[in-house]
Structure 1
Amino acid sequence: CTAYNVIAFHANLKSNLNNLSQNTTIKFENVQLNKGNGYDPATGMFTAPEDGVYSFTWSFLTNKRGTVYIAAVVDNVDHVHTCINNQQSTYINTSGHLIYELKRGNKVWIRTWYLPATFIHGGYYTYFSGSKINSI
């Protein structure tokens, strides 16, 4: 077994977001954990501090008639799309997961895609997290 440095982060939104343009990077400002200092709340981007396999998860909550299309992006390339088009429920959420091999300096972030996002609920309902799960 090879020992490696713990690299992990978890951050959520401080407040609700309304009417975000298409291709807007979501900045999760409320950082709960940032081992390895890879996540930057000012940009909303995670930068891999070292080579490895990483796991990322995210979850978003919207209200009735809320529309949110989310992309998980690695170095300007979309890798996972999740979406909500809520016409029925008072609130509804979606989540996503990405496992990806990163080199030191690769960047991962969450952004809107396809259509503008009408409403994203802040607080602990909406988050982005990631961790290194193996060295290369």
Structure 2
Amino acid sequence: MGYEGLLLFSILSLGILGLSSGENIHKGVVSREEFEDLKRLVMGLNEKIEIQEQKLLDQENEINSLKGNVEERDEFIKKMTTLSKENLESKKERCRIVPVPTEAVVAFYAYMSANENSPGVHHTLIYDHEVTNIGNGYSRHSGTFTAPVAGVYVFTWNTFTVTNSGNQYMSIEITLNSQPVGVTFVQGGGDYAGVTGTVVLSIQKNDVIYTRTHKTYVPVGSIRSDNLMRSTFSGWCLSCH
């Protein structure tokens, strides 16, 4: 029996209660025992209705609570998604993008880890601390670069000098297969002096590049390389083939 049917039944039963209460119950219509049974039945049905109504109210409250939890969850997910996007953008700004090396990428960079004291003439300079060596063309043991592929290359070398006598000077050559293709000269009267040289060369595979002191000009002073200034050697391929 549905809710409406139970309600209608209760109303009719109450009507019967009003008509049949006390000593006015007509004989042959309903006895007092039947009336009491009917009364208990109606009260029981009313109790069931109240229980069902309470269950419906509890379910409605639970549904509203779940809706609130879903809204809170959605809001939390939205905030976390926004924060993740902001963090990702921030990381992209802070990250240094390094291309994946391929056969067509050749580059190296190295510096001297200590001073080169009083080098003589025709002396090969060795930059023993290797920082970058894509293509494995540079040797930190010999100070030479051997081209792994042919192409157009840029080479640069940076030289600082130092002396205790107040005067230093020297000439530094860069060579291709032992033949000079560039030269720098550094001179200073103070504690130190510096110079940078750059060349652009078209070279073949297995050609050898390195720097050295001039073959006849006698250098005076020492080459300085420390945490304040570095004497360096680097190169990279502009167009490899």
Question: If the length of structure 2 is used for normalisation, what is the TM-score?
Answer: 0.53
For residues 49 and 68 of structure 1, what CA distance do their matches in structure 2 show?
Answer: 31
The secondary structure found in structure 2 opposite 1:28 is coil
Per mean C-alpha deviation after superposition, the further-off stretch among 43-52 and 55-64 is 55-64
Match of 1:90 in 2: 191
Match of 1:116 among 219, 225, 230: 219
Alignment partner of 1:102 is 2:102: no
Name the larger-Rg structure.
2
For residues 103 and 117 of structure 1, what CA distance do their matches in structure 2 show?
Answer: 35
List alignment gaps of at least 5 residues for structure 1. Answer: none
Match of 1:126 in 2: 231
For residues 34 and 15 of structure 1, what CA distance do their matches in structure 2 show?
Answer: 20
Contact 2:103–2:135 (Cα < 8 Å) also in 1: no
Q: Give the drift of 1:126.
A: 0.5
Contact 2:161–2:193 (Cα < 8 Å) also in 1: yes
> Between Structure 1 and Structure 2, how many residues are aligned?
133
CA shift digits 1:25-76 (9 cap, x unpaired): 0000000000000000111100000110000001111124122210010001
User: Aligned in 2, Cα 1:117/1:50: closer, same or farther, shift over 3 Å?
Assistant: farther
Q: Give the drift of 1:103.
A: 0.3
CA shift digits 1:98-123 (9 cap, x unpaired): 10001000000000002235210013
The residue type paired with residue 106 of structure 2 is I
The residue type paired with residue 45 of structure 1 is T
- Identity of matched residues, %: 27
For residues 5 and 135 of structure 1, what CA distance do their matches in structure 2 show?
Answer: 6
Contact 2:108–2:132 (Cα < 8 Å) also in 1: yes
1:22-61 equivalences under 5 Å are: 22-61=121-160
Contact 2:187–2:193 (Cα < 8 Å) also in 1: no
Contact 1:50–1:103 (Cα < 8 Å) also in 2: yes
Q: Give the drift of 1:4.
A: 5.4
The residue type paired with residue 132 of structure 1 is C
The secondary structure found in structure 1 opposite 2:210 is strand
Per mean C-alpha deviation after superposition, the further-off stretch among 22-31 and 62-71 is 62-71
The residue type paired with residue 230 of structure 2 is Y
1:61-100 equivalences under 5 Å are: 61-63=160-162, 64-87=166-189, 89-100=190-201
For residues 220 and 144 of structure 2, what CA distance do their matches in structure 1 show?
Answer: 19
The residue type paired with residue 113 of structure 2 is K
Task: Point out the structure with the larger strand share.
Answer: 1
The residue type paired with residue 192 of structure 2 is Y
User: Aligned in 2, Cα 1:4/1:42: closer, same or farther, shift over 3 Å?
Assistant: closer
Question: If the length of structure 1 is used for normalisation, what is the TM-score?
Answer: 0.91
Which structure ranks higher in relative contact order (CA pairs < 8 Å, sequence separation ≥ 6)? 1
List alignment gaps of at least 5 residues for structure 2. Answer: 1-101
